[in-house]
């Protein structure tokens, strides 16, 4: 008697499940959406309360991948732990909130724990967060994995991608409307309850966990009257004499100041170098409006105020004592500064980079900050090209000595002469306040002191290596040690938590390398689009959605068409990677927005599509779909670790690592004579069943 492939998948799945509230297909889509939504919520939540991961946000992403991989490996484990998922998420969110850390203006750490305990040191916080996130995501993923195993591999993968798309759209919608964590908790709680069994009264652990999860996100999100922007947890402190301090993610960020205070600070120093009225002014990093108020006071005829965070701009509109955003001469833009520079056709008499220090990374990327593409050699060239004849560019901040030298040298290379240098007071640690001002021509500015190069001047950051805060082209020792510990801990956790030996993944080692390669490929696409269209949360969400749509399209093609041999597919993939490497993003920046978008999509998503044709072709024939998918996801974790290679190689050369990893996958792909028994059964189900009968 013959059996269908889907029948084999169902037979392999655990049968001890009660009457579920949602059907198999709906349940898998909903569980996958909840998994991705939970991952994004944890990334935002942890970064909002723990300054130790503020510049290491893919730390949470790596923990999530580990947990997701373990969750899939546990799919056939006798002990079903799915009902504990909401309680585990609530526990992680609560620990992160209770033991949060705050940094003062002098870089000292002070305790703000609810229990009044001293702030935990980094060496305690990071392991606790990592293990907690991994454990919580493993339980969340077990819900996905046990449903995943009820379908044929490609059908399960297709439904999982549909759910992931739903999760991306849902979280993006929440960010778009400015909804805070209470809505994150509500969405997740409803999803977890819906994924339970009838009657709900029997799911006490799940229901109580969902209620606690909602309460944790609601209470944590309301602490101190915080507002959650798409980038930060924003805290507004008490105002005094017109000054309103603003913290983001527990770090001091900026303060609204009255004009008399602003005129005593470095905000006015760029204007003292002008040889004429400021005229038309562009301010990038306008924030709460301090620089806008000064520009208006100094006689600007018009001001374009660009700020990436709508909440910070809203605070300035509502609370700044000078009400600069209400002035008719001001046009406010919520946008990425580099993207605005590339799109605008205006010419300005003065362009200011007004403290555009985001204090955070692009979500999920290991070292790319929101402002990274503002300080590259190419960005300074865009600034020069947007200046009117006689125009002036100025930037200021509290700089680390090597960062100051890098920026000054970059201005010198772009403009052809040394900028004016106004030293200021010391800041936190080795940092010192400084203002750099340069004109299109040396005589366009008036200054007594110009920058003098140090003995050793760091090379400028570039669009391919956008790391202005990195000390050379190397991976910092902190990252190397942390990543090595993560890899070692992950191996131990996978072996212990999955309840099965690592050798169960041996038939799927090629899928492991595919996962690592695909994560790196995804990283190159995210940074490419960040450069071409801005490092905003919206662009980031669109890229991830586009990648998932490409994956879904590949699955649909693989389900309906007979694909060429793996050898041909891998050659096509290598060719597409070569094209992506040859076409530098700088060449696409010269195009208008619409043709730039079309070209970027073709260059970035063609390798994604071909890579997923290869994956779908291979995944269709696996015997244990959850083990195979778990191996693939654990490989993605390795790709997340390898992402830091960009600090040494630049992002463009990561494509060589992608090609190498796919080469490993090609060499290690199984042949018919070495397939495991289960996989042979899937290829010849009728024959095996007849033999068994």
pLDDT tens-digit readout, 299-334 = 999 999 999 999 999 999 999 999 999 999 999 999
Query: Which pLDDT value is given to residue 683?
Result: 41
pLDDT of residue 372: 87
Contact indicator for 137, 3 with CB cutoff of 8 Å:
no
Which residues is 252 bridged to in the sheet? Answer: 247
96 within 8 A of 63, measured Cβ to Cβ: no
In whole angstroms, give the CA distance from residue 309 to residue 231: 7
Instruction: Give residue-wise pLDDT tens across range 236-270.
Output: 888 887 889 998 888 888 999 999 999 988 899 99
pLDDT at 365 over 60: no
- Cβ neighbors of 86 (< 8 A, separation 6 or more) are 188, 189, 192, 206, 209, 210, 212, 213
Placement of tokens 């929101």 in the chain: 370
- pLDDT at residue 106 tops 60: no
Mean local confidence (pLDDT), 544-570? 93
Distance from C-alpha of 41 to C-alpha of 233, rounded to nearest angstrom: 12
Angle ∠(287,291,297) on CA atoms, nearest 5 = 145
pTM of the predicted structure, to 2 decimals: 0.87
Tens of pLDDT, residues 162-191: 999 999 999 999 888 888 899 999 999 999
The closest of 615, 622, 364, 341 to 507, measured between CA atoms, is 622
Q: Count other Cβ atoms within 10 Å, centred on residue 329.
A: 14
Chain segment 185-244, per-residue pLDDT in tens: 999 999 999 998 876 667 889 999 999 999 999 988 877 678 898 888 898 888 887 889
Closest listed residue to residue 53, CA positions, set 129, 104, 112, 105: 129
Q: What's the confidence (pLDDT) of residue 414? A: 96
Rounded CA gap, 438 and 273, in Å?
A: 9
Tokens of 230: 């798409």
CA 161/CA 559 separation, integer angstroms: 14
pLDDT tens digits, one per residue of 454-498? 778 899 999 999 998 888 888 888 778 888 888 888 888 887 766
What's the rounded Cα separation, in Å, for the pair 565 and 569? 6
Same-fold call for 5-226+473-690 versus 245-357+377-444:
no
**Tell me, what's the pLDDT at 524?**
92
Q: What are residue 333's phi and psi, to 5 degrees?
A: -130, 125
Percent of the chain with pLDDT over 90: 55
CA-angle at 413, arms to 409 and 416, nearest 5°: 120
* For residue 692, pLDDT beyond 70: no
* Phi, psi torsion values for 316, nearest 5 degrees: -65, -40
Domain over 5-226+473-690 is classified CATH 1.20.1250: yes
- Residue 693 clears pLDDT 90, i.e. is over it: no
Concatenated DSSP letters for 444-481? GB--S-B----SS-PPPB-SSS--TTSSSSS--HHHHH
Distance CA 632, CA 629 (A): 5
Could you tell me which residues are beta bridge partners of residue 387?
Answer: 348
Q: Which pLDDT score is estimated for 79?
A: 84
10-32: pLDDT as tens digits? 334 443 445 777 788 999 999 99
How deeply is 27 buried, as exposed, middle or buried, from its count of CB atoms within 10 A (0-12, 13-18, 19+)? buried
Neighbouring CB atoms inside 10 A of 199's CB total: 10
Collect contacts of 590-594 with beta carbons under 8 A, ≥24 apart: 593/343
Axis-axis angle for helices 122-148, 24-49 (nearest 10)? 170
Cα–Cα distance for residue pair 144/134, rounded to 1 Å = 15
pLDDT digits (tens, 9 = 90+) for 633-645: 999 989 988 998 9
The model's confidence at residue 689, banded by pLDDT at 50, 70 and 90, is: very low
Q: Would you call 364 helix, strand, or coil by DSSP?
A: coil
3-state DSSP call for residue 678?
helix
Round to whole Å and give the CA distance between 95 and 37: 20
Structure tokens of 285?
């990093």
- Domain range list for the chain: 5-226+473-690, 245-357+377-444
pLDDT at 58 over 70: yes
User: Which tokens in the block code for residue 119?
Assistant: 């702030």
pLDDT at 206: 92
pLDDT of res. 176:
83
Q: Cα separations (Å) of 500 from 74, 271, 621?
A: 8, 68, 22
For residue 259, CA distances in Å to 143, 149, 279, 292, 322 come to 57, 65, 19, 11, 7
HEC profile of 117-171: CCCCCHHHHHHHHHHHHHHHHHHHHHHHHHHHCCCCHHHHHHHHHHHHHHHHHHH
**Which distant-in-sequence residues (6+ apart) come within 8 Å of 135 by Cβ?**
67, 88, 92, 497
User: At which residue do the structure tokens 């939540």 appear?
Assistant: 45
| Cα 358 from Cα 162, distance rounded (Å) | 33
pLDDT tens profile 88-99: 999 999 998 888
Cα–Cα dist 387/302, whole Å: 14
Q: Cβ-count burial of 496 within 10 angstroms (0-12 exposed, 13-18 middle, 19+ buried)?
A: exposed
Q: Give the number of C-alpha atoms closer than 13 A to the C-alpha of residue 341, restricted to the C-beta side.
A: 30
**Stretch (H or E) spanning 670:** none
- With a cut of 60, say whether residue 273 has pLDDT above it: yes
Name which of 306-315, 498-507, 622-631 the model is least confident about. Answer: 498-507
Q: Is 236 helix (H, G, I), strand (E, B) or coil?
A: strand
Asked if residue 678 has pLDDT above 70, the reply is no
Alpha helices, H only, 386-464: 401-415
| Percentage of the chain exceeding pLDDT 70 | 88
Rounded to 5, what percent of the chain is helix, strand, coil? 60, 10, 30
How far separated are the first and last CA of the chain, in Å rounded? 8
Asked if the bond preceding 18 is cis, omega within 30° of 0, the reply is no
More confident residue, 472 or 393: 393
Q: Which of 11, 13, 29 minimizes the C-alpha distance to 195?
A: 29
pLDDT computed for residue 677 by the predictor: 43
Query: What pLDDT shows up at residue 114?
Result: 62
State the average pLDDT over residues 368-377.
87
Does the structure show a pLDDT above 80 at 601? Answer: yes
Q: How confident is the model at residue 9 (pLDDT cuts 50, 70, 90)?
A: very low
Residue 275 scores a pLDDT above 80: yes
DSSP 13: S
Q: What pLDDT score was predicted for residue 364?
A: 46
pLDDT at 453: 87
* 245-357+377-444 CATH: 3.40.50.150
Structure tokens at 572: 């096509």
pLDDT in tens, 423-465: 888 777 788 889 999 999 999 999 889 999 877 889 999 999 9
Positive or negative, the Cα torsion across 411, 415, 417, 422? negative
């Amino acid at each position: 008697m013959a059996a269908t492939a889907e029948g084999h998948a169902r037979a392999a799945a655990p049968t001890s499940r009660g009457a579920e509230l949602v059907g198999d297909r709906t349940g898998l889509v909903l569980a996958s959406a909840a998994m991705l939504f939970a991952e994004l919520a944890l990334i935002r939540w942890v970064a909002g309360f723990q300054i130790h991961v503020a510049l290491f946000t893919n730390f949470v992403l790596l923990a999530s991948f580990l947990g997701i991989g373990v969750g899939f490996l546990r799919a056939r484990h006798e002990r079903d732990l799915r009902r504990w998922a909401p309680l585990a998420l609530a526990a992680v969110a609560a620990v992160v909130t209770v033991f949060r850390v705050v940094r003062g203006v002098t870089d000292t750490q002070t305790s703000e724990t609810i229990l009044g305990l001293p702030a935990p040191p980094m060496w305690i916080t990071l392991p606790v967060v990592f293990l907690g996130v991994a454990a919580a995501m493993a339980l969340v993923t077990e819900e996905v994995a046990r449903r995943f195993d009820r379908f044929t591999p490609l059908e399960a993968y297709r439904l999982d991608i549909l759910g992931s798309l739903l999760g991306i759209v849902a979280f993006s919608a929440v960010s778009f409307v400015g909804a805070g964590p209470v809505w994150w908790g509500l969405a997740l709680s409803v999803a977890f309850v819906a994924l339970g069994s009838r009657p709900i009264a029997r799911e006490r652990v799940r229901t109580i966990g969902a209620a606690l999860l909602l309460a944790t996100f609601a209470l944590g999100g309301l602490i101190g009257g915080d507002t959650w922007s798409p980038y930060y947890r924003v805290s507004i402190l008490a105002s005094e004499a017109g000054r309103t301090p603003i913290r983001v993610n527990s770090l001091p960020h900026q303060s609204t100041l009255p004009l008399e205070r602003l005129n005593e600070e470095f905000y006015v120093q760029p204007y003292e170098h002008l040889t004429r009225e400021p005229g038309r002014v562009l301010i990038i990093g306008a924030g709460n409006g301090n620089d806008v108020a000064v520009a208006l006071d100094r006689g600007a005829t018009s001001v374009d105020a660009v700020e990436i965070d709508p909440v910070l701009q809203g605070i300035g509109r509502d609370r700044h004592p000078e009400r600069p955003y209400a002035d008719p001469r001001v046009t406010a833009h919520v946008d990425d500064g580099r993207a605005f520079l590339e799109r605008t056709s205006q010419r300005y008499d003065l362009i200011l980079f007004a403290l555009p220090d985001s204090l955070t990374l692009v979500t999920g990327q290991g070292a790319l900050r929101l402002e990274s593409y503002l300080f590259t050699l190419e960005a300074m060239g865009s600034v020069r090209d947007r200046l009117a004849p006689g125009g002036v560019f100025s930037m200021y901040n509290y700089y680390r000595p090597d960062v100051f030298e890098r920026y000054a040298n970059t201005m010198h290379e772009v403009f052809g002469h040394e900028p004016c240098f106004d030293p200021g007071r010391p800041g936190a640690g080795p940092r010192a306040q400084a203002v750099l001002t340069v004109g299109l021509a040396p005589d366009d500015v008036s200054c007594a002191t110009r920058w003098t190069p140090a003995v050793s001047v760091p090379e400028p950051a570039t669009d391919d290596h956008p790391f202005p805060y990195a000390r050379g082209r190397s991976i910092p020792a902190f990252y190397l040690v942390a990543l090595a510990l993560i890899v070692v801990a992950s191996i131990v956790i996978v072996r212990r938590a999955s309840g099965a030996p690592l050798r169960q993944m041996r038939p799927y080692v090629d899928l492991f390398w595919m996962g690592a390669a695909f994560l790196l490929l995804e990283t190159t696409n995210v940074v490419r689009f960040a450069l071409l269209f801005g490092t905003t949360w919206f662009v980031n969400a669109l890229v991830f959605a586009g990648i998932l749509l490409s994956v879904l399209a590949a699955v649909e093609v693989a389900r309906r068409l007979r694909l060429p041999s793996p050898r041909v597919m891998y050659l096509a993939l290598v060719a597409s990677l070569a094209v992506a490497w040859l076409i530098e993003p700088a060449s696409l920046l010269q195009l208008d927005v619409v043709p730039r978008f079309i070209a970027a999509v073709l260059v970035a998503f063609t390798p994604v599509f071909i890579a997923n044709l290869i994956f779908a072709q291979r995944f269709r024939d696996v015997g244990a779909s959850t083990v195979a998918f778990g191996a693939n996801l654990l490989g993605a974790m390795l790709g997340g670790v390898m992402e830091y290679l960009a600090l040494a190689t630049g992002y463009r050369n990561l494509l060589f690592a992608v090609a190498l990893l796919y080469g490993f996958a090609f060499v290690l792909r199984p042949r018919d004579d070495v397939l495991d028994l289960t996989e042979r059964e899937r290829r010849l189900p009728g024959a095996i069943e007849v033999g068994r009968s």
